[in-house]
């Protein structure tokens, strides 16, 4: 009986994650060629990886002259309200990814990729989801 209670508890707890969090969590690559910004710090970008973990920590792209590479210092939270979906990155004020970004998810049928567009007042970022089957996930 205790085994069944344990499994029921695990299933219940895993179902508490929002659908927005499930879409966000994972490995993303930033399409640097489609980046639109007025923030010149993006010119010093090192790499294009973005990893959003289940525990709401994040690995963001590195930037020359900005020490932001400590995973423990970077947190993210999803926001879903009447204004739509958004993500908020809690990191150093020098990081161009600091703050709130509006999220738009979409399927790119031509490239067969899941994508998301992150937008704030001075930046538009297109990201591609990695390690996820394009055809098998009906939640998109």
Domain coordinates in residue numbering, the chain:
18-129
pTM: 0.81
pLDDT digits (tens, 9 = 90+) for 38-65: 999 998 888 899 999 999 999 999 888 7
- What pLDDT is attached to residue 9? 40
- 30-37 LR contacts (CB < 8 Å, sep 24+): 30/61, 30/125, 30/126, 30/127, 31/125, 31/126, 31/127, 31/128, 34/124, 34/126, 35/123, 35/124, 35/125, 35/126, 36/123, 36/124, 37/96, 37/122, 37/123, 37/124
- What pLDDT is attached to residue 12? 42
Fold of 18-129: Lipocalin (2.40.128)
């Amino acid at each position: 009986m205790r085994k069944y209670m344990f499994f029921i508890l695990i299933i219940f707890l895993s179902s508490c994650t929002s659908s927005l969090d499930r879409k966000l969590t994972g490995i993303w690559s930033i399409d640097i060629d489609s980046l639109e910004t007025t923030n010149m710090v993006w010119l010093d970008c090192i790499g294009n990886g973005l990893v959003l973990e289940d525990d709401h920590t994040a690995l963001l792209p590195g930037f020359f002259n900005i020490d932001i590479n400590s995973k423990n210092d970077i947190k993210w939270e999803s926001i879903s309200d009447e204004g739509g979906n958004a993500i908020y990155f809690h990191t150093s004020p020098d990081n161009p990814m600091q703050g709130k970004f509006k999220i738009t998810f979409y399927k790119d049928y031509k490239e067969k990729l899941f994508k998301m567009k992150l937008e704030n007042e001075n930046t538009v970022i297109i990201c591609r989801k990695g390690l996820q089957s394009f055809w098998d996930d009906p939640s998109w």
